[in-house]
Chain A
Amino acid sequence: MTIRQRFQQVFVGVLMLAFGAVMIAYDEESYPFIIALYSLALELQGFRLIWYFFTMARLMVGGKSILYRGILFIDFGVFTGSLVFVPQIYILIYLSGTLALSAMIDLLRSREARAIHSPWKLKTFQGAVELITAVICLVFLHSTAMVVDIFSAVFIFSGVMRIVSAFRRMPVITVS
């Protein structure tokens, strides 16, 4: 990771901490804000991947997976954005579901990383925390204010993890 990338990681991490704090302060009023932010992030990532596919990766072996990932990101982004118009209970179920999915992916990736002797503990910890949070959210579905607080905590947790990972050293295979 370059110094600039580390700085970006820390910057995004600090922003997430600030968003978490704002969400705790505004409780239920911050639902549309959470949805909009989530939707925008997914769509931007999708467009970025599709642009990369058409300019570079379409000629690469296995490059179509990048196109599919881009389309999926946009699809999820649009779907997430449309949730502003449905009752909050469905939003909560959806957010909890995506959190659980993210947790499962993290846990599977940490398992894969462990099998190939890559760093895996931090990823496992992150996946476990996300999974527990998703379960707690489902348990407290009747209290929307409580769930917002839980999501805020997750946001703050992710921000801290991002800042921590910015200072971790990544293994590099050199070529000679």
Chain B
Amino acid sequence: MQGDFHYYATYCAAVLAGYTHDESLSVCHAAQLVDHCSRSFLKKVGGPDAAATTQLQLELMDARTDRLGLCDITRIWASFHFLPRDLYAPVKKGSKNYKDKYRLICGPNGDLLVETVTLAKDRGLAAAGIAMHVLADTWAHTYFAGTPSLVINNTGYHFYELMPQEGGGFARRRVAFSHNPSAKEDPEKGVYVGSVYQSTENSIMNLGHGRAGHLPDYSYIRYAYLPAWGGYREIIKDNPSDYEHAFAQMVYALHWLRDGKEAFAADTYAEDVIEPHLDTIRGIIDRRQTDASDDWRTFGERLTGDKIPDFDMDAHVAEYRNAGSMSKPDTFLGTFFDAAHRQKSMVTTRIMASGSRLAGIPPRKMTKSTVHAVEIND
């Protein structure tokens, strides 16, 4: 997903969940900051290296793809952008390495999502924002894994956009992927940008949905393709439906983070809350555009009557820099870094506890107590 959903739509979800304008801005700022909090950003602001939630293009270009480098990449991308749906998914065939990678495939409503939202409870607005980023991405990035893998993330020539027809039904149009990142996408002609085929299993080009370009990030699109892991079964990805679910689940999750007494429940949506606005929300999601920021912003400003400022990644930097070492953890960025660290630690620990070494190599056999220790100390 992009800034239109992580920033503006998250703002709208927070408002509908009962947060004030200022609180909603903090939540959506944190949600969008997840896509900017790279090691370069952390170096600039003086934040802890371990709180990185993304990697920039230049960082990825020079990222190591040996075992330790892969662990670093997986910790970041699986924790914040491709939350695994089921770390214990049954896989009958394949080597252990294949099974481990298969189990990192992202999807909504997994156990880790419940843990992600629960982890953010009572930890402030920045933590809520991070959890909303992770939650929203489980819908957009379904079927891709947050680790470099040709055998999981590759896509082939069988890739079609499903174009809605006036009389109902869908027509298929072959998607032509350009491999020049600076090339302009043309949704009208079905030209999209995707990463180059690389036959090396752990190539950075095979990370996440790179091979499918930004298609998972566009709310209006429906597409049919053969995922590399799918055994030649065609999958239809219905982004309008998934984005609506993501929005409704964010409203429920944010409401739960604020007032929830019972345990957070997966597969639960605030349908009643968004029902009065459903036509507007569906109108924004269905509109054929690669950036829906203006529409979401208009909707958000109509909800509160307040102006939503543009996202500024440096908005809280001065506060963090000027704070003393004792008060840094209480600043907005301080709480963001702490929440990011906790989220990464939790996901890494769960992946390691499942027997996979893709996110980290346990120092000794994991027991319940060592899992707890890693959570605290990572």
Report A's interface with B, CB cutoff 8 A: 1-5, 52, 55-63, 66, 113, 116-118, 169-176
A61, A172, A175 interface centre (most CB from chain B within 10 Å): A175
Given B81, B93, B181, which contacts A175 in the complex, CB threshold below 8 Å?
Answer: B81
Determine the main DSSP class of B at the interface with A.
loop
Q: How far is the CA of A173 from the CA of B206 in the complex (A)?
A: 10
Q: Which of B39-59 contact A (CB under 8 A)?
A: 54-57
For A58, list chain B residues within 8 Å (CB): 94
Q: What would be 21 A-B contacts, judged by CB atoms less than 8 Å apart?
A: A4-B64, A55-B97, A58-B94, A59-B93, A59-B151, A60-B151, A61-B228, A61-B229, A61-B232, A62-B156, A63-B151, A113-B179, A116-B177, A118-B180, A171-B179, A171-B180, A172-B210, A173-B195, A173-B210, A173-B213, A176-B1
Q: Would B179 and A118 count as touching, CB distance under 8 A? A: yes
Q: Would A175 and B208 count as touching, CB distance under 8 A? A: yes
Q: Would A176 and B151 count as touching, CB distance under 8 A? A: no
Q: Would A3 and B180 count as touching, CB distance under 8 A? A: no
B35, B77, B179, B208 interface centre (most CB from chain A within 10 Å): B179
Question: Which A-chain residue is minimally distant from B60 (CB atoms)?
Answer: A172
Q: How far is the CA of A59 from the CA of B94 in the complex (A)?
A: 7
For B35, list chain A residues within 8 Å (CB): 176
Q: Tell me whether A116 and B210 are in contact in the complex, defined as CB-CB below 8 angstroms, given that A61-B226, A172-B61 are known contacts.
A: no
B224 CB to nearest A CB, Å: 13
Q: Would B98 and A174 count as touching, CB distance under 8 A? A: no
Question: Which B-chain residue is minimally distant from A62 (CB atoms)?
Answer: B156
Q: How far is the CA of A52 from the CA of B98 in the complex (A)?
A: 11
Q: Would B97 and A56 count as touching, CB distance under 8 A? A: yes
Q: Would A170 and B64 count as touching, CB distance under 8 A? A: no
B178 at the interface (CB under 8 A from A): yes
Q: How far is the CA of A1 from the CA of B203 in the complex (A)?
A: 9
For A175, list chain B residues within 8 Å (CB): 77, 81, 141, 144, 207-210
Question: Which B-chain residue is minimally distant from A66 (CB atoms)?
Answer: B199
B300 at the interface (CB under 8 A from A): no
B244 at the interface (CB under 8 A from A): no
Given A1, A2, A61, A118, which contacts B227 in the complex, CB threshold below 8 Å?
Answer: A61
User: Apart from A5-B65, A172-B195, A176-B2, what are 4 other A-B pairs with CB-CB below 8 Å?
Assistant: A61-B228, A116-B178, A174-B210, A175-B81
Q: How far is the CA of A4 from the CA of B64 in the complex (A)?
A: 7
Q: Which 10 A-B pairs have the closest CB atoms?
A: A117-B180, A175-B208, A173-B195, A60-B151, A118-B179, A55-B95, A117-B183, A173-B210, A171-B181, A60-B228
Q: Tell me whether A2 and B98 are in contact in the complex, defined as CB-CB below 8 angstroms, given that A62-B154, A172-B57 are known contacts.
A: no
For B2, list chain A residues within 8 Å (CB): 176
B262 at the interface (CB under 8 A from A): no
Q: How far is the CA of A117 from the CA of B181 in the complex (A)?
A: 9
B150 at the interface (CB under 8 A from A): yes
Q: Would A60 and B154 count as touching, CB distance under 8 A? A: yes
Q: Would A169 and B66 count as touching, CB distance under 8 A? A: no
State the interface size on chain B (CB cutoff 8 A).
57
B52 CB to nearest A CB, Å: 14
Q: Would A117 and B179 count as touching, CB distance under 8 A? A: yes
Contact indicator per residue, chain B 293-309, by CB within 8 Å of chain A (1) or not (0): 00000000000000000
Given B154, B181, B227, which contacts A173 in the complex, CB threshold below 8 Å?
Answer: B181
Q: How far is the CA of A171 from the CA of B228 in the complex (A)?
A: 23
For A174, list chain B residues within 8 Å (CB): 55-57, 60, 210
Q: How far is the CA of A59 from the CA of B102 in the complex (A)?
A: 11
B169 at the interface (CB under 8 A from A): no
A58, A62, A176 interface centre (most CB from chain B within 10 Å): A176
Q: How far is the CA of A134 from the CA of B159 in the complex (A)?
A: 39
B231 at the interface (CB under 8 A from A): yes
B217 CB to nearest A CB, Å: 7
Q: How far is the CA of A61 from the CA of B155 in the complex (A)?
A: 8
Q: Would B179 and A176 count as touching, CB distance under 8 A? A: no
Q: How far is the CA of A161 from the CA of B348 in the complex (A)?
A: 41
B69 at the interface (CB under 8 A from A): yes
B207 CB to nearest A CB, Å: 6
B242 at the interface (CB under 8 A from A): no
Question: Which B-chain residue is minimally distant from A6 (CB atoms)?
Answer: B62
Q: Would A173 and B194 count as touching, CB distance under 8 A? A: yes
Q: Which of B169-194 contact A (CB under 8 A)?
A: 176-183, 193-194
Q: Tell me whether A56 and B154 are in contact in the complex, defined as CB-CB below 8 angstroms, given that A172-B61, A173-B193, A176-B217 are known contacts.
A: no
A88 CB to nearest B CB, Å: 34
A129 CB to nearest B CB, Å: 23
Given B69, B151, B183, which contacts A2 in the complex, CB threshold below 8 Å?
Answer: B69
Q: Would A2 and B64 count as touching, CB distance under 8 A? A: yes
B286 at the interface (CB under 8 A from A): no
Given B61, B69, B156, B176, which contacts A61 in the complex, CB threshold below 8 Å?
Answer: B156
For A66, list chain B residues within 8 Å (CB): 199
